[in-house]
Amino acid sequence: MKIALISENSQAAKNGVIETALRTVAEPLGHQVFNYGMYSAEDACSLTYVMNGILAGILLNSKAADFVVTGCGTGMGAMLACNSMPGVFCGLVVDPTDAFLFGQINDGNAISMAYAKGFGWAAELNLQDVYRKLFDGERGLGYPKERAAIMAKNRGILKDVKAAATKDIVSALKAIDQDLVKAAIAGDKFQEYFFANSQDEAITAYVKGVLAA
């Protein structure tokens, strides 16, 4: 699995702590981690939580990433921004139980965490425990087991509802302020990671056009 880490400006100073916790858990399980920044509060490319959502939409729909780990001060804003994008199903995760239930019941493709509220002593241990519950083993098995079939059915219904209620990703991106989109993909590593991993020609072509504008 290709896991994308996206940090926004208010919590950018914690990017290194989050990346270390994520790599500590994910890489031994065979997953790849791509850190799209922000890498520090002084980065030239400053990502807001709204931009995190745009970036998540591009990465997931193009299959440049299979899963997105993001967040903000409370986790709420980044979650809402992610869920505004076609094809993105983002859960607000506070602790390992949230992570387990989100993975087993909702089987979404992104999580948002609070990196200010409640982020205190031993926060890095909570991060590691969250990532273990998310990435170790098969997701979408249901909990409790006897409700697995109806949960899988509801996930399919929600996917259909989201597809009906939103535009395709390229149309959605074109309808957004293009300066905002360009700012969201201006990070130091974006082009290196995205173009090496994108599997969607239409999204790739759109992104190239935005970058060239």
**Each residue of 51-99: pLDDT tens digit?**
999 999 999 999 999 999 999 999 999 999 999 999 999 999 999 999 9
Residue 194's domain is classified under what CATH number?
A: 3.40.1400.10
Predicted pLDDT at 84: 97
- Domain range for 144 is 2-212
- Find the DSSP H helices in 136-177: 148-165, 169-175
Place of tokens 């909702």: 106
> Cα separation of 31 and 100, whole Å?
18
Stretch 145-159: mean pLDDT: 95
- CA distances (Å), origin 103, targets 67, 97, 136, 142: 11, 10, 10, 8
When pLDDT is cut at 50, 70 and 90, the band that residue 123 belongs to is very high
pLDDT in tens, 29-64: 999 999 999 999 999 999 999 999 999 999 999 999
3-state secondary structure of 5: strand
Question: For residue 50, with 0-12 CB atoms within 10 Å meaning exposed, 13-18 middle and 19 or more buried, which class applies?
Answer: buried
> Cα separation of 168 and 174, whole Å?
10
Predicted pLDDT at 20: 98
Tell me which long-range contacts 91-96 makes (C-beta under 8 A, separation of at least 24).
93/130, 93/134, 94/118, 95/126, 95/129, 95/130, 96/126, 96/129, 96/130, 96/132, 96/133
Predicted pLDDT at 98: 98
Of residues 70, 63, 66, 65, the one with CA closest to residue 38: 70
> Cα separation of 84 and 56, whole Å?
10
Per the structure, how many domains does the chain have? 1
Predicted pLDDT at 95: 97
Nearest 5°: phi and psi at 68? -120, 130
Predicted pLDDT at 138: 94
> Cα separation of 185 and 4, whole Å?
13
Predicted pLDDT at 196: 98
- CA distances (Å), origin 208, targets 16, 65, 142, 186, 211: 29, 18, 40, 12, 5
